[in-house]
């Protein structure tokens, strides 16, 4: 029957009031930790920057093949097979062995139980393709092996990009995968992306290496340029430390030299290596190399066993802050190239907001007029429930600090339409019941009960579509599906609790009146 207990009425009133207050918090400032939540505006509404990054996986593939070369030599050395004529070119590793060992080599590559790779319990032969041509073996990554590398590097790059952007404090960044070698970065409210581009464009591969005067260094040597100077130095390829050994890095002001430096702290292994290198290298220059360029090369004056040190290089405070940020967030597994860049100005964002709000207002006013003209008092009840429904929806989005996009506004408009549709179904069903039932209370109760199945079916199927769009879509699609999904729940609450409660109050006071609807 049409009946609401006092406890249920209290629950409906408090719940509605709570979400109305939360929704209104978007329009005023509050120091309260809960009431200061706001709906964030997306890139298309607030303006900002859009960057599409592509991962250059070629260096990773080359590096993994180089590492595999050492594995290969050590493995066959234990089997007393000598690997000769090793060459790595165009992502293909070639080598030769004596004639009598050729079949053994082929068997090892084709054997799933081979321990050829010491980094895995079993050698995954499907990661590599091997062929024999002109007495030379050629090894390259298989298609599946390349997919695994790209997926792994994309996951690592995504996490490091997220760390770098979060440390800058950008509001509600949207960082997503695109394919298996691209990353999409949306930065609402940021109209000057130069600093972000600089930070994301650096791999931040940090190494500490000794400067040498001997080109025939046992570890090999290479000429590297200084970052801010037009000169070169010969640097040993032997890596004393890498960025993996860093625990922390912070910008500091050196009071003695009155210059900005980056102080760093090493982990236990790094501190031990650094102490040993500085104790045996007193008087030598230690090059600090970032992404293939020397940023400073101080002379070692004493043993550094504390596990901490400083990087100097004529930094400004901003450049020192950025370098410390890069070192803290870790090195990217591969270089990132910006292949697409767009900046959405705030004027365009405001135009989008205005257009969306005008569309919402026009649609809402037309719906209110139609429903009021058609159903009179019950149309007024529906309109009140619709307005509260909007507050409920905005309140829920505010609690989760959701990002509102232009498609999200479209989802809100669709929610209004669905809420009206549910009420129309109920009222038309009530009209049918009144033709055969003279008791208004029974007719209204039957109308609500018998229309429930159709309303639930329509909303559940729409909810399933919204869930699929949310998990399968991205960016604006997610915004649309989120507001639509939340709107379905608030619509059902407003129809079966708020509108029904108001209907009960009116019908109970006019239960003997004919032609109620």
Q: What percentage of the chain exceeds 70 in pLDDT?
A: 89
* Alpha-carbon 182 to chain mean position: 12
pLDDT at res. 121: 37
pLDDT for the residue numbered 124: 46
- CATH code of the region 6-47+345-509: 1.20.1640.10
Question: Is a pLDDT exceeding 80 seen at residue 112?
Answer: no
The CATH code of domain 58-146 reads: 3.30.70
pTM: 0.60
Look up tokens 């009071």; give the residue. Answer: 255
pLDDT band of residue 117 (cuts 50, 70, 90) is very low
Report yes or no: 56 and 334 within 8 Å, Cβ to Cβ: yes
Please tell me the predicted confidence (pLDDT) of residue 30.
64
d(CA 506, CA 517): 12
pLDDT at 475: 65
Q: What is the pLDDT of residues 360-393, one digit of tens each?
A: 788 778 888 888 888 888 999 999 999 999 999 9
Q: Where are the domains of the chain?
A: 6-47+345-509, 58-146, 206-331
Average pLDDT over residues 80-108: 81
pLDDT tens-place string over residues 15-74: 999 999 999 888 876 666 667 788 877 777 777 888 899 999 888 888 788 777 877 787
Q: Given this model, what pLDDT does residue 11 score? A: 92
pLDDT at 461: 93
Give the model's pLDDT for residue 119: 38
Using an 8 Å Cβ cutoff, are 53 and 183 in contact?
yes
Residue 307: phi, psi to the nearest 5?
80, 15
Q: Which CATH architecture has domain 206-331?
A: 2-Layer Sandwich (3.30)
For 227-240, write each residue's pLDDT tens digit.
877 888 899 888 88
Chain centroid to CA 72: 38
Tokens of 406: 């232009």
% of the chain at pLDDT higher than 90? 15
- For position 217, what pLDDT does the model report? 65
Contact in structure between 207 and 292 (CB atoms under 8 Å): no
Tell me, what's the pLDDT at 98? 81
* Confidence category of residue 191, pLDDT binned at 50, 70, 90: low
Report the SS3 class of residue 232.
strand
| H or E stretch covering 462 | helix 440-472
* pLDDT band at residue 171 using 50, 70 and 90 as cut-offs: low
């Amino acid at each position: 029957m049409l009946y609401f207990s006092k406890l249920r009425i209290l629950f409906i009133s408090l719940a509605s009031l709570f979400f109305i207050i939360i929704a209104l918090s978007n329009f005023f400032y509050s120091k309260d930790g809960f009431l200061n939540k706001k709906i964030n505006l997306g890139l298309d509404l607030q303006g900002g920057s859009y960057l599409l990054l592509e991962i250059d996986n070629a260096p990773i593939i080359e590096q993994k093949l180089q590492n595999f070369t050492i594995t290969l030599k050590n493995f066959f050395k234990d089997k007393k097979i000598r690997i000769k004529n090793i060459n790595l070119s165009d992502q293909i590793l070639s080598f030769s062995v004596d004639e009598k060992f050729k079949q053994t080599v082929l068997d090892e590559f084709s054997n799933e139980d081979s321990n050829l790779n010491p980094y895995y319990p079993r050698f995954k032969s499907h990661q590599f393709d091997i062929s024999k041509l002109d007495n030379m073996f050629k090894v390259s990554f298989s298609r599946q092996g390349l997919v695994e590398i790209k997926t792994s590097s994309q996951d690592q790059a995504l996490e490091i990009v997220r760390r770098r952007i979060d440390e800058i404090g950008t509001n509600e960044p949207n960082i997503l995968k695109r394919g298996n070698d691209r990353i999409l970065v949306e930065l609402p409210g940021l109209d000057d992306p130069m600093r972000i581009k600089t930070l994301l464009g650096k791999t931040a591969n940090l190494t500490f290496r000794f400067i040498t005067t001997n080109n025939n260094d046992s570890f090999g040597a290479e000429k590297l340029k200084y970052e801010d100077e037009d000169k070169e130095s010969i640097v040993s390829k032997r890596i004393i430390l890498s960025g993996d050994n860093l625990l922390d890095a912070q910008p500091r002001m050196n009071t003695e030299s009155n210059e900005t430096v980056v102080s760093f702290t090493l982990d236990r292994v790094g501190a031990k290596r650094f102490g040993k290198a500085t104790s045996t290298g007193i008087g030598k220059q230690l090059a600090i190399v970032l992404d293939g360029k020397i940023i400073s090369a101080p002379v070692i004056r004493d043993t550094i066993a504390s596990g901490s040190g400083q990087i100097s290089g004529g930094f400004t405070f901003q450049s020192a802050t950025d370098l410390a940020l890069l070192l803290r967030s870790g090195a990217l597994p591969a270089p990132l190239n910006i292949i697409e860049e767009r900046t959405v100005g705030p004027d365009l964002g405001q135009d989008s907001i205005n257009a969306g709000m005008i569309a919402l207002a026009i649609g809402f006013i037309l719906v209110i007029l139609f429903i009021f003209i058609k159903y009179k008092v019950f149309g007024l009840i529906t309109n009140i429930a619709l307005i509260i429904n909007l507050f409920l929806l905005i309140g829920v989005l505010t609690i989760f600090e959701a990002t509102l996009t232009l498609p999200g506004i479209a989802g809100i408009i669709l929610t209004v339409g669905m809420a009206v549709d549910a009420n129309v179904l109920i009222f038309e069903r009530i009209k049918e019941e009144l033709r055969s039932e003279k008791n208004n209370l029974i007719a209204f109760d039957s109308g609500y009960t018998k229309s429930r199945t159709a309303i639930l079916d329509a909303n559940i199927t729409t909810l399933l579509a919204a869930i699929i769009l949310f998990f399968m879509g991205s960016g604006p699609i997610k915004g649309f599906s989120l507001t639509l999904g939340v709107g379905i729940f608030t619509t059902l609450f407003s129809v079966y609790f708020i509108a029904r409660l108001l209907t009960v109050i009116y019908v109970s006071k006019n239960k003997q009146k004919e032609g109620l609807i």
